[in-house]
Structure formats: C-alpha cells, structure tokens
Amino acid sequence: MTTRARLTLDPAFRVAPVEPRLFGSFVEHMGRCVYTGIFEPGHPSAGPDGFREDVLELVRELGVTLVRYPGGNFVSNHRWEDGVGPAEHRPTTLDLAWRTVEDNSFGLNEFMAWTARAEVEPMMALNLGTRGVAEALELVEYATFPAGTRWSELRRSHGADKPHDIRLWCLGNELDGPWQMGHKTAREYGRLAAETARALKRFDPTLSLVACGSSNSSIATFGSWEAQVLEETYDLVDYISLHAYYDPSDGDADSFLASAADMEHMIRSIAATADHVAATLRSPRRLRLSFDEWNVWYQSRFGGESSLDWARHPRLIEDRYDVTDAVVVGSLLITLLRNADRVGIACQAQLANVIAPIMTEPGGPAWRQSVFHPFALTARHARGEVLRVEPESAAIETAKYGEVPSVWATATHDPASGAVTLFVVNRDRRAACDLDVVLPGGLQPVEHVELADEDPTAANSAAEPYRVVPRPGSGLRHQDRLATLTLPPTSWTMVRFAVKE
C-alpha cells in the first residue's frame, strides 16, 4: 500500500534562523555516562586526562554543540566542592538520586577541559534542591571570576588559571517532581529561583539563566507550575525549561511514532503560558524555551530509583535503540526546528550509555546507536533559516494523540549558498508514501539518504555496530520545480538540494 503527500519549500516563508544550540546533549553523573562513558582513565584510547578519545571522536561526529552538566536529578543534592581540587583529596559521597557511590574523580574542571576537547559549549546546572543562593553564587564565582577573590583563587590553585567561559546556568532541575531531592511547590521554587537569579545577574548581568519548567506534560501541575514560577521570575530569567521522554514499551507503536505531537503541544502550551505571564506583567520580553532533556526512553522497563542497590557507576537505563526509535528521534528534531522561533536550546538526554546515541564497553569499543544518525545528519545539514513547511498527507489514527499526519517535515534554507535541505519522516508503519516536493527554481537534488529497514526492530550493538546505518534513498525523480520521492514505511529521510551549476 502507498499513500501520497505533497509539500512546498519556499525560502520566502521563514520561521527563524537555525540556532546551533538546538543540537545540545546532556552529561549527568548517572550510571555510566561519565565513568566508563566519556571518562575512563586506563582505557586504551584514553590520554593522560582520562578522556576516551574514541568517544570524543564520536561526539564531534554527532555534531553536538552544547552539553548540559552535571544533572539531572543528580544535581539536586550535589556539592560541587566535592568534585574540585586534588583528586586524592576528594571525598567518596553518596548520590541519593541514583543510589550511586560517587568518587568525585570527575568534576567541574575536568568537565570544562572535556568540553574544550569535544568543542562544545558548557551549560551548567545549579543545585536549588538541597542548596540555595549562597552556594550558587560561590560556584559561579569559583568558575567564572578572573582572580583575586576567595573562590576564584581556589579555582586557580586547582590548576584552572583562566576563568571558565560558562554563559548558561540552569536554576535547578525538575523541582516540580516529588522524586527530586528538595522538591518544592511552584511558589517555593519560583521565589528561590528569583532570588538566585537576582543575585547572579548582580554578579554578572550577561549570564543566561534557565528557570525549571515541568518534568513532563502529564504531571498534574503542567502549565500552572510554569505560570507561577514565571510570575516570580519572568524578568530575571532568559529561558524556561521543558523535559520530555517518549516510551515505546507499552506496545502502542502508532502513538509512539506520533510522539512529536506531544512535543509540539508542550512547546505551544508553554510558549502561550509564558506570553500570558508577559501580558499580565506588561513585559515586552518574549521568553525562549530550553528543551534541555528530550529523548526516547523505555521508562516503564526501569524499576525506579528505590529498586536500585548502592553501586559504583552501575549500568542504568542503557536502552538499546532500534530503527523505529531513530525515526521518532528524527521526528523530535524536526519538531524542535519547526519551533525554532521559540525554542532556543535543546539537549538530547543523555550523551553516552544512559539512554544515549553513543555506547561504550569498559576497556572496550564505542559505537553509534540507531538514534545517532538522524541527530548527526540534522546537526550537520540544518543550516541558515528554518522554513515553514506544511505537508498535506494521509492521517493516522492514534490512541494517545488522535489523528496525526503521517508525514512530518521541516526544511532549512542557507541564504549564503541557496541550498535547501528537507528533513521528513513517514510515521506510517504499514504504507510507503510518494511525496511530491515543490521546489524553488534553480535547485537540483544532490543527496538523498534515509534511515529505514525491512525490520524496524533492527538495532546496533558492540557485536554488530553497523547493522543500522543511513542508506542512500532510491527512486528520486526531479523535473524543474518538482521532485518526487518515496518514503518507506517507518522512515526518516533527508534530501539536500543545491543551486544548479
């Protein structure tokens, strides 16, 4: 069975410039993301700093631009001081979020050295769960003040002579969630975030601050949390955060493939909530959104934090991703780009081993999961301006989101070269789709790749790291201003068009 769809690419219809910070990731002290993920002293590929070079190479290939650190739930009971100074003097501590024994051999200064090697921007989260304004100020002074004060001199005595260039600070993590150490009501958190923001902006008005939004769209306080938090913080912060994980494990594959409908709903709802608060405060500012945790996560397979025994860097939520998961990840990236006028930051959670595009074995290899590929290709080829693209396609009926269009797409236009790149998914599991693409004049297709497989459950592993890779698309026909291609069932596709020589 084949369906038909049509879309038009027109550089006159722009959404916003492609923001490089949309291709962010997340490194939490959780499971094996840090230890034996990005950091493994003694690994054959690690240098004297303990950073795995094989992982660094994959991070650069993935095209990650920004990395949020050190959590996540971990940060809400974290003492940053435990992770700085001579490694032999650092304490062994208990991380209550993931019931993990933490030796603190990797901390702020190691992370900053790693970001330089990975060529990514750092985004730091502050502990506003069990700590407050004073400790946040001390950390920011330690990290970013040049010299001559108690905390900046302490940093220099730790070998970091120059201040770290950290522009982005998260005011806590998921404090709406009862699982969070130091969980708060919206008013309690809003007041604390406001006072922390006021102090940080007094310290350095150029810092960009992110207030915590909801942890997901099904939590009872979704929407009202943001409204109350922003009533306290609106003119003091630069972003409000959103988090969302999509779970394939309940067997409802049609709804899972339509997960972007929830992401779109979250973005629109929180943008509207922020605009409502701006209106009531008569504020001319338009707040941006930081979607700083998003991904596919087989969450219902995870027994929860209380099921965990105390351990050192245990294997936690090391989900193995298949082709369907990669198509969903591609559709979520499409959604972030489609909303580039509001979403200024996005972080796929997480980077290595923990629900991650990059997997490693301790002492062994590193490899790309299926979800690595749509991220890497989108990060590499989404350039210039995002175009408004509105496909006409068949509809799919889903239990969770009602009717959704089978084809979901975005495109970018690079004004410098005239190139246009289309990113599109076919969420139909049963039918291929013949897609007509109406193009601006003077373009020709130069690359057509897709992620699809006769077996949508195919996945990569240490033994079979290249089972799922992008493959050349076939059967693209092009004449004048019309290109026609076939999207296989459950597929992600990218087509690049360049100006004809």
Nearer CB in complex with ligand AHR: 26/145: 26
Nearer CB in complex with ligand AHR: 25/233: 25
The DSSP bridge pattern shows strands 432-438 and 482-487 to be antiparallel
**How many CB atoms lie under 10 A from the CB of residue 474?**
10
For the CB of residue 347, give the shortest distance to ligand AHR in the complex, in Å.
10
**How many CB atoms lie under 10 A from the CB of residue 167?**
15
In angstroms, the CA 125 to CA 24 distance is 14
**Would you call 403 a catalytic residue per the annotation?**
no
Strands (E) across 119-162 are located at 121-125
At which residue do the structure tokens 């493939």 appear?
257
**Would you call 174 a catalytic residue per the annotation?**
yes
For the CB of residue 341, give the shortest distance to ligand AHR in the complex, in Å.
26
Q: What angle do CA 258, 357, 79 make, to 5 degrees?
A: 105
Nearer CB in complex with ligand AHR: 28/319: 28
Nearer CB in complex with ligand AHR: 30/411: 30
Strands (E) across 299-419 are located at 311-312, 343-349, 358-360, 366-368, 385-387, 395-398, 402-405, 407-413
User: What are the tokens at 336?
Assistant: 């972030």
The DSSP bridge pattern shows strands 471-472 and 443-451 to be antiparallel
**Active site residue: 174, 226, 232, 264, which one?**
174
> Do residues 211 and 288 make contact, with C-beta atoms less than 8 angstroms apart?
no
Nearer CB in complex with ligand AHR: 73/378: 73
User: What are the tokens at 117?
Assistant: 């090697």
Closest residue to bound ligand AHR by CB: 72
For the CB of residue 203, give the shortest distance to ligand AHR in the complex, in Å.
26
- Say how many CA atoms lie within 13 Å of 301 toward its Cβ: 15
For the CB of residue 236, give the shortest distance to ligand AHR in the complex, in Å.
22
**Active site residue: 102, 110, 293, 385, which one?**
293
For the CB of residue 125, give the shortest distance to ligand AHR in the complex, in Å.
9
In angstroms, the CA 72 to CA 125 distance is 8
Q: H-helix or E-strand containing 292?
A: strand 288-296
For the CB of residue 307, give the shortest distance to ligand AHR in the complex, in Å.
15
Nearer CB in complex with ligand AHR: 168/451: 168
Residues in the chain: 501
Name the site residues for ligand AHR (rule: CB under 6 A): 28, 30, 71-73, 173-174, 215, 293, 349-350
In angstroms, the CA 272 to CA 92 distance is 45
Nearer CB in complex with ligand AHR: 78/381: 78
For the CB of residue 426, give the shortest distance to ligand AHR in the complex, in Å.
29
Burial 218-256 (b: 16+ CB within 10 A, else e): eeebbbebbbbbbebbbebbbbbbbbbbbbbeeeebbbb
In angstroms, the CA 235 to CA 70 distance is 26
Residues labelled as active-site residues? 174, 293
